[in-house]
């Protein structure tokens, strides 16, 4: 039985914000497990370049924060006979500033990109999954779903919301055969964290603070994603899986 539990052959996976970084790494992992991968983003040229790096990949460009655009894209894709069996809500952004100086428009952008997109895309895809009686939704949360750091309070708020929306999705949709879970990455070496990776003081703090003693590599998120997308996680629902080198386990 073993490895067949993790076999994703015959399943189609849509990953939002997947032309680079964590989203692209997750797409690679799902493809390696046999899934037909659908890359998403706003920039068609970047999407095409990313798709060329994974054999057999499809693309679906839409703005994840635009409810109507999401519905049109997802419904049209499904109408073409391309059911979405797995959804990874990965699109996200970061903005750093002291809370007392945080700009209102930056706060609104974080809300739209990090949490509203999870609602918009999750709802659009789930309606089709519910009709089929099966589906996997994996939301990308964060170590900030559980912890806070100075200068990113609004980001922390959005990722806390992702965690609770995941629980809400499971509560509403598990009865229809959907499994809704989240992956919460710790500190990974990504373009989003480039300034922190380049800061020797921050890296020294992180290495001391994290039991594993290092930054994470994006490839280390693939196994968690394949697990939650697969039959191995058939009774896992509403769970937030921290992949963080132990940082949430240790003071």
Indicate the pLDDT class of residue 192, thresholds 50, 70 and 90.
confident
CATH architecture of the domain covering 2-249: 3-Layer(aba) Sandwich (3.40)
Question: Which among 9, 164, 18 has a CA at the least distance from the CA of 91?
Answer: 18
> What is this structure's pTM?
0.97
Residue in 155, 176, 187, 242 annotated catalytic: 155
On whether the CB atoms of residues 39 and 19 are closer than 8 A, the answer is: yes
Tens of pLDDT, residue by residue over 82-99, are: 999 999 999 999 999 999
Judge whether residue 1 has pLDDT over 70. no
Tens of pLDDT, residue by residue over 27-55, are: 999 999 999 999 999 988 999 999 999 99
Work out the end-to-end distance of the chain between its first and last CA atoms, rounded to an integer number of angstroms. Answer: 39
Establish whether 155 is a catalytic residue.
yes
> 178 has which bridge partners?
135
What does the domain layout of the chain look like in residue ranges? Answer: 2-249
* Residue-level pLDDT at 2: 56
* Residue-level pLDDT at 191: 85
Tens of pLDDT, residue by residue over 198-225, are: 999 999 999 999 999 999 999 999 999 9
* Residue-level pLDDT at 151: 96
DSSP 56: T
- The mean pLDDT of 219-247, rounded to a whole number, is 98
> How far is Cα 21 from Cα 193, in angstroms, rounded to an integer?
11
């Amino acid at each position: 039985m073993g490895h067949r539990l993790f076999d994703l052959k015959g399943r189609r996976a849509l990953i939002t914000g997947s032309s680079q970084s964590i989203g692209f790494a997750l797409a690679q992992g799902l493809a390696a497990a046999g899934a037909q991968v659908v890359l998403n983003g706003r920039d068609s040229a970047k999407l095409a370049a990313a798709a060329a790096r994974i054999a057999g990949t499809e693309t679906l460009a839409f703005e994840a924060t635009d409810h109507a655009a999401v519905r049109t894209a997802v419904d049209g894709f499904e109408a073409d006979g391309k059911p979405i069996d797995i959804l990874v809500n990965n699109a996200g952004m970061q903005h750093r500033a002291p809370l007392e100086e945080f700009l209102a428009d930056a706060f609104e952008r974080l809300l739209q990109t990090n949490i509203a997109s999870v609602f918009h895309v999750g709802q659009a895809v789930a309606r089709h999954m519910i009709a089929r009686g099966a589906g996997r939704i994996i939301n990308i949360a964060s170590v900030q779903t559980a912890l806070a750091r100075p200068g990113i309070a609004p980001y922390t708020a959005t990722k806390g919301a992702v965690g609770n929306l995941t629980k809400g999705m499971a509560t509403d949709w598990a009865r229809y055969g959907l499994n809704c879970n989240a992956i919460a990455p710790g500190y990974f070496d990504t373009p989003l964290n480039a300034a922190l990776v380049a800061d020797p003081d921050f890296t020294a703090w992180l290495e001391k603070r994290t039991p594993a003693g290092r930054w994470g590599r994006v490839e280390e998120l693939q196994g968690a994603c394949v697990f939650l997308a697969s039959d191995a996680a058939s009774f896992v629902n509403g769970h937030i899986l921290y992949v963080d080198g132990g940082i949430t386990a240790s003071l």
